[in-house]
């Protein structure tokens, strides 16, 4: 049963606006935080379930006689920093892709082979999102078996514990298979596979097998166990990658680190290790709760794959929507933690050495979308890896940019992007400006001036310098981006809307950042002047928002990219309140893109969901969630492009946040796009720009009350519909608001 603790808590507070204690966190009413299946995974992509601790991830199959943990480490990449810009600059051929681009690699698999017995029954495998623990249970020959797996961030290892309610029931062997054919050395109760990629990157994985009862012996590169009561399997892996160009992206051999991590775990520590893992995960995961309705208990009890099917056939399942929301948050926590690399196209889950699109950091929508949820969904620190990587790339990009564009200041890069900050394929000229938006948003949400000074502003400023030098003046004095591109749609030409809007956004954010820091007044004045002169949005002949300067948009075009709607989301140049004609035109354009053909991709639905939410169209936004579930979710509930692509899983969370709270227009707008499908519900822990944390309860489509916690004591304006309230909330305090 869901408990509406927010209601009870708010009922005690009578005045319209009152100071109160901290809002309740993680409302108890979330029954459904588990994905579960009645059979083992047959297929890696569709069925296996993801665990991760930031740098390391694995897919768990849950096989009874043969368990497989297919694992990855974020930095295991072929390729190098490649300087494709150099080549492209010489040949003037932007589409040249250097062999140095490389691919994200599969590290390997650990197999736990168990000797058979009678026919197993009561099989279940599940992933608890709120504990980040995968559990397999089944009964065989009257004995109940339990297998728990988790990927610990504090300990830096993957741990699997196998137990049974009868003694001596585990016999079999452990096989470590390196995806690059490095031999496995077995000694005592340890396995080690050590190798190097063709670019010289050194890597190593190690396994420890800790047994209670029975015995363990090394044999033919495997570990054989016999009649053990329980087993604890520990897997550690790493590479010699270092995020530092000056050191050639190369650090120490990982052997000592991997050994230390694996050795640090002893069988006795298991409960402690699990407890520390759950506490660490929950410190992030439990910040936000969401309740958008109740699912019929019979439907809620279905295994996840069958439940998705039922939803596709039309049975409403609000708890599944909540799970989709929390799954996106779960996946970000699992694939992007301070100190790790950012989440790539597949997070840290990849079973191929030549994955689609290199499994890269794709800079023309995908890597950005991966991080749209981070700030509003209260996982701001999970975005830090993005800043680390793109900052580390600045020296590379400055050189490549000069080779390609001549003696310009600042930098930008190409579309395809690897861990050495090598880039390839088309020059994504607007790429650095778009990434700069993330550097700004982290400040906008956290109000962390120290971060802005040291990390955010320097990146934004250099991205600006490139555009200051590169913008082209039309005879009438207006400014256009030359040779731009509406990603993967249309030719290279001047004044493409996508580019114009992103430069506008970059200038606006940098102006605000320089004010916040009290620096660079001359540059600020220049940017203000240039921003005003940028060619702005235009409404075309069928009422659409023009994608290009020329009015040639095709109303039948179903292209997946909605690049010219950047100004609505994630930008803030167009809004129904400030620029109603453009907002209307944006809706016409979006409607025309339709929802068939190319519109059905992992990331198209989330982007459109967020745009509809910004346009105040809750039902249309909710329809985009339906679209993702209908066409682009795998049975394990991960988004698929195809193939499996995390942007959809992450992006839909951002879209839902925009439906509930918006804060891009100088105020906190409550329930700006509440759909009819969510008549009553509550949310807590969402973040808003200006340094606030927001909780809302609504009933029959109307706001009941909201809580606003101030993190920094900034002035705060809260809006519901057209009504507003000004609040003064001391740092760390919470106010309740009703309208
Ligand atoms: C962009 C998109 C594709 C795909 C790829 C990884 O190029 O246009 O649809 O998502 O990135």
pLDDT in tens, 516-550: 999 999 999 999 999 999 999 999 999 999 999 99
Give the atom of ligand 1 at the shortest distance from the alpha carbon of 488. 8
* 110 lies in the same domain as 24: no
- Cα 13 to middle of ligand 1, angstroms: 49
Residue 619 host element (H or E): helix 618-631
Give the atom of ligand 1 at the shortest distance from the alpha carbon of 561. 8
Q: Which residue has the tokens 């519900």?
A: 681
pLDDT value at residue 32: 64
- Cα 191 to middle of ligand 1, angstroms: 39
Asked if pLDDT for residue 722 goes beyond 70, the answer is yes
Read off the pLDDT of each residue in 609-620 and give the average, rounded to a whole number: 98
- Cα 561 to middle of ligand 1, angstroms: 9
* 133 lies in the same domain as 230: yes
* 139 lies in the same domain as 168: yes
- Cα 364 to middle of ligand 1, angstroms: 8
pLDDT value at residue 3: 42
Give the atom of ligand 1 at the shortest distance from the alpha carbon of 603. 10
* 40 lies in the same domain as 14: no
Asked if pLDDT for residue 433 goes beyond 60, the answer is yes
Residue 477 lies in a domain: no
Residue 99: pLDDT band with limits 50, 70, 90: low
Q: What is the residue range of 252's domain?
A: 34-90+106-291
- Cα 134 to middle of ligand 1, angstroms: 31
Residue 120: pLDDT band with limits 50, 70, 90: very high
pLDDT value at residue 530: 98
Give the atom of ligand 1 at the shortest distance from the alpha carbon of 487. 8
Residue 64 lies in a domain: yes
Asked if pLDDT for residue 717 goes beyond 70, the answer is yes
CATH number at residue 21: 2.60.40.1180
- Cα 507 to middle of ligand 1, angstroms: 27
Give the atom of ligand 1 at the shortest distance from the alpha carbon of 641. 10
* 142 lies in the same domain as 273: yes
* 122 lies in the same domain as 240: yes
Residue 148 lies in a domain: yes
* 164 lies in the same domain as 20: no
Burial class for 157, CB neighbours closer than 10 Å (0-12, 13-18, 19+): buried
Residue nearest (by alpha carbon) to ligand 1 atom 6? 357
Q: What whole-number distance in Å separates Cα of residue 673 and Cα of residue 273?
A: 42
pLDDT value at residue 266: 84
Residue 350 lies in a domain: no
pLDDT value at residue 31: 53
Residue 215 host element (H or E): strand 215-219
* 685 lies in the same domain as 726: yes
Token output for 42 = 């047959």
Strands, sheet with 190-196, edge to edge from the N-terminal-most edge strand: 34-37, 121-128, 133-140, 143-152, 157-164, 230-239, 202-212, 190-196, 184-187
Give the atom of ligand 1 at the shortest distance from the alpha carbon of 357. 6
CATH number at residue 41: 2.70.98.50
- Cα 562 to middle of ligand 1, angstroms: 12
Give the atom of ligand 1 at the shortest distance from the alpha carbon of 602. 10
Contact residues for 198 (Cβ-Cβ < 8 A; gap 6+): 78
Please say which residue of 276, 291, 306 terminates a domain. Answer: 291
Please say which residue of 257, 291, 325 terminates a domain. Answer: 291
Residue 1: pLDDT band with limits 50, 70, 90: very low
* 42 lies in the same domain as 1: no
Give the pocket of ligand 1 (CB within 6 Å): 345, 357, 362, 364, 366, 488, 560, 601, 603, 641
Please say which residue of 236, 256, 291 terminates a domain. Answer: 291
Which among 358, 362, 650 is the best mutation to test ligand 1's pocket, defined by most ligand atoms within 8 Å of the CB? 362
Which among 343, 366, 368, 604 is the best mutation to test ligand 1's pocket, defined by most ligand atoms within 8 Å of the CB? 366
- Helical residues (DSSP H) of 406-520, grouped into ranges: 431-446, 449-451, 457-470, 497-517
Burial class for 171, CB neighbours closer than 10 Å (0-12, 13-18, 19+): middle
Asked if pLDDT for residue 225 goes beyond 60, the answer is yes
Asked if pLDDT for residue 84 goes beyond 90, the answer is no
Which among 346, 350, 355, 357 is the best mutation to test ligand 1's pocket, defined by most ligand atoms within 8 Å of the CB? 357
Asked if pLDDT for residue 442 goes beyond 70, the answer is yes
pLDDT value at residue 267: 74
- Cα 604 to middle of ligand 1, angstroms: 10
Q: What is the pLDDT of residues 132-179, one digit of tens each?
A: 999 999 999 999 999 999 999 999 999 999 999 999 999 999 999 999
Give the atom of ligand 1 at the shortest distance from the alpha carbon of 647. 10
- Per the prediction, the chain carries an average pLDDT of 94
pLDDT value at residue 91: 44
Residue 449 lies in a domain: no
Q: What is the pLDDT of residues 695-704, one digit of tens each?
A: 999 999 999 9
Residue 93: pLDDT band with limits 50, 70, 90: very low
- Cα 644 to middle of ligand 1, angstroms: 12
* 63 lies in the same domain as 149: yes
Read off the pLDDT of each residue in 589-615 and give the average, rounded to a whole number: 98
Q: What is the pLDDT of residues 469-505, one digit of tens each?
A: 999 999 999 999 999 999 999 899 999 999 999 999 9
Give the atom of ligand 1 at the shortest distance from the alpha carbon of 360. 6
- Cα 307 to middle of ligand 1, angstroms: 29
- Cα 366 to middle of ligand 1, angstroms: 7
Q: What whole-number distance in Å separates Cα of residue 543 and Cα of residue 587?
A: 9
* 17 lies in the same domain as 69: no
* 73 lies in the same domain as 194: yes
How would you label 596-610 residue by residue, b for 16+ Cβ within 10 Å and e otherwise?
A: eeebbbbbbbbbbbb
Residue 22 lies in a domain: yes
Which among 365, 431, 490, 640 is the best mutation to test ligand 1's pocket, defined by most ligand atoms within 8 Å of the CB? 365
Residue 364 lies in a domain: no
Residue 66: pLDDT band with limits 50, 70, 90: very high
Residue 167 lies in a domain: yes
- Cα 390 to middle of ligand 1, angstroms: 20
The percent of residues above 90 in pLDDT, for the chain, comes to: 91
Read off the pLDDT of each residue in 502-521 and give the average, rounded to a whole number: 98
Q: Which has the minimum average pLDDT: 94-108, 238-252, 604-618?
A: 94-108
Read off the pLDDT of each residue in 195-200 and give the average, rounded to a whole number: 97
Q: Are 355 and 421 in contact (CB under 8 A)?
A: no
The percent of residues above 70 in pLDDT, for the chain, comes to: 93
- Cα 504 to middle of ligand 1, angstroms: 24
Residue 715: pLDDT band with limits 50, 70, 90: very high
pLDDT value at residue 38: 98
Contact residues for 395 (Cβ-Cβ < 8 A; gap 6+): 245
Residue 180: pLDDT band with limits 50, 70, 90: very high
Structural domain tally of the chain? 2
Residue 27: pLDDT band with limits 50, 70, 90: very low
Asked if pLDDT for residue 559 goes beyond 70, the answer is yes
Token output for 200 = 């010289």
Asked if pLDDT for residue 506 goes beyond 50, the answer is yes
């Amino acid at each position: 049963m869901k408990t509406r603790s927010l209601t009870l808590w708010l009922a005690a507070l009578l005045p319209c606006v009152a100071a109160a204690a901290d809002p309740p966190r993680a409302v108890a009413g979330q029954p459904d935080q588990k994905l579960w299946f009645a059979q083992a995974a047959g297929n890696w992509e569709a069925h296996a379930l993801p665990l991760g601790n930031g740098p390391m991830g694995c897919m768990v199959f849950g096989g009874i006689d043969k368990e497989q943990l297919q694992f990855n480490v974020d930095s295991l990449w072929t390729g190098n920093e490649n300087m494709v810009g150099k080549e492209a600059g010489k040949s003037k051929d932007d589409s040249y892709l250097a062999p140095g681009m490389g691919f994200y690699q599969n590290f390997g698999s650990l197999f736990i082979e168990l000797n058979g017995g009678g026919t197993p029954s009561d099989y279940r495998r599940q992933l608890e999102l709120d504990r980040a623990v995968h559990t397999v249970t089944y009964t065989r020959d009257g004995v109940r078996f339990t297998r728990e797996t988790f990927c610990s961030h504090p300990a830096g290892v993957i741990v699997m514990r196998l137990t049974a309610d009868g003694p001596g029931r585990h016999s079999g062997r452990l096989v470590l298979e390196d995806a690059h054919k490095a031999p496995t050395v077995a000694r005592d109760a340890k396995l080690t596979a050590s190798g190097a990629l063709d670019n010289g990157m050194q890597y190593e994985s190690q396994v420890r097998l800790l047994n209670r009862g029975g015995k363990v012996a090394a044999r033919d590169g495997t570990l054989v166990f016999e009649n053990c009561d329980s087993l604890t399997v520990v897997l550690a892996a790493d590479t010699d990658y270092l995020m530092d160009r000056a050191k050639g992206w190369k650090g120490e051999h990982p052997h000592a680190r991997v050994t230390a991590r694996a050795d640090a775990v002893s069988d006795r520590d298991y409960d402690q290790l699990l407890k520390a893992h759950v506490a660490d995960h929950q410190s992030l995961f439990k910040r936000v709760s969401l309740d958008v309705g109740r699912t019929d208990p019979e439907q809620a009890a279905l295994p996840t794959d069958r439940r998705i099917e039922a939803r596709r056939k039309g049975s409403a399942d609000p708890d599944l929507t909540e799970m989709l929301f929390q799954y996106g948050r779960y996946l970000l926590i699992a694939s992007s933690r301070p100190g790790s690399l950012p989440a790539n196209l597949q997070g840290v889950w990849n079973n191929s050495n030549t994955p689609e699109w290199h499994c890269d950091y794709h800079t023309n929508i995908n890597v950005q979308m991966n991080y749209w949820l981070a700030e509003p969904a209260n996982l701001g620190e999970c975005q830090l890896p993005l800043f680390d990587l793109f900052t580390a790339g600045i020296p590379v990009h400055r050189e490549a940019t000069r080779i390609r564009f001549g003696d310009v200041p600042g930098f930008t890069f190409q579309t395809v992007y690897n861990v050495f900050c090598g880039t390839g394929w088309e020059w994504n000229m607007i790429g650095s400006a778009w990434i700069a938006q993330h550097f700004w948003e982290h400040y906008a949400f956290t109000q962390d001036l120290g971060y802005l000074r040291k990390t955010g502003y320097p990146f934004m400023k250099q991205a600006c310098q490139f555009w200051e030098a590169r913008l082209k003046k039309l005879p009438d004095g207006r400014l256009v981006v030359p040779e731009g591109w509406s990603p993967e749609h249309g030719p290279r030409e001047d004044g493409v809307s996508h580019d114009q809007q992103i430069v506008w956004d970059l200038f606006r954010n940098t102006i605000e950042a320089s004010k916040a820091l009290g620096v660079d007044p001359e540059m600020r004045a220049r940017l203000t002047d240039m921003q005003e002169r940028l060619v702005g949005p235009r409404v075309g002949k069928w009422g659409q928002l023009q994608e290009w300067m020329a009015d040639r948009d095709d109303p039948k075009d179903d292209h997946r990219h909605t690049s010219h709607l950047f100004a609505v989301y994630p930008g803030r140049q167009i809004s129904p309140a400030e620029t109603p004609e453009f907002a209307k035109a944006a809706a016409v354009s979006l409607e025309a893109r339709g929802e068939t053909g190319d519109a059905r991709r992992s990331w198209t639905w989330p982007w459109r969901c967020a745009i509809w939410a910004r346009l105040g169209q809750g039902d249309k936004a909710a329809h985009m969630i339906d679209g993702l579930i209908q066409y682009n979710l795998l049975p394990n509930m991960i988004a698929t492009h195809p193939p499996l692509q995390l942007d959809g899983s992450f992006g839909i969370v951002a879209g839902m946040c925009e439906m509930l709270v918006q804060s891009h227009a100088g105020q906190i707008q409550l329930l700006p796009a509440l759909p009819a499908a969510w008549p009553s519900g509550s949310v807590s822990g969402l973040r808003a720009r200006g340094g606030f944390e927001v909780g809302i309860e609504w009933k029959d489509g109307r706001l009941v009350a909201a809580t606003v916690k101030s993190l920094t004591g900034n002035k705060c304006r809260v809006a519901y519909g057209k009504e507003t309230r000004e609040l003064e909330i001391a740092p760390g305090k919470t106010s309740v608001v009703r309208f």
